[in-house]
A and B are shown apart, each in its own frame.
Chain A
């Protein structure tokens, strides 16, 4: 079975631009979570979606938004990019409490 997939793998943007990251969960998983991982730190929770509804949100500004589609895939959008948004963005799909992560999207903001 395929694991969690994310696209793109790498992305370079400039300050002020907008970015959309995509995630496909493991087949049968209805919940998708997004995390931000800054170099040298552990992942930080951004959002979780379950059955297309936002279930929880971490301490991130409104520039960060997400949505989940009927096929349970998800998009993370970040507007008005800042240099500090440079990070690895991880998607995790879950069945009950167990979360499985994708390879991440490396975002660099110049």
Chain B
């Protein structure tokens, strides 16, 4: 089965609000995690990554938090915009080459 999963399949958020997307993983040996955004009909787009020796990393309007104690990962999007509507995947690097993905969370931004 999947070693990476998201808590909620859908998330509806008001434009301008902050979004929080959660992800649980089961492999405590994983040392690298990536968040991807996938719009309809496109391939996954790299958003941000984090290594297991960190607990927080910030990008442009996005922050990833890693809690290794409870094996939990989250993606925070500040001031959510209509263009943020997409499916978001967390992916876990289980060795040097393989990424394991969860089923994804569909984010819908309400105007």
Contacts and interface: CB of A to CB of B under 8 A. Distances in A.
Given A4-B43, A98-B49, A104-B42, 14 more contacts: A35-B99, A42-B102, A43-B89, A45-B99, A48-B98, A56-B95, A56-B97, A90-B43, A92-B99, A94-B97, A97-B49, A98-B34, A99-B99, A101-B43
A102 B93 contact: no
Contact of A56 (B49, B98, B104): B98
A14 B64 CA distance: 43
Interface in B66-107: 89, 91, 93, 95-104
A97 B44 contact: no
Contacts of B91: 42
B43 to A, nearest CB: 4
Nearest to A55: B97
Interface of B: 2, 4, 32, 34, 36, 42-46, 49, 89, 91, 93, 95-104
B46 A98 contact: yes
B46 A45 contact: no
B89 A99 contact: no
A32 B82 CA distance: 32
A35 B100 CA distance: 10
Interface size class of A (residues with CB under 8 A): 20 to 34
Interface in A26-73: 31, 33, 35, 40-45, 48, 50, 55-56, 58
A103 B45 CA distance: 9
A99 B34 contact: yes
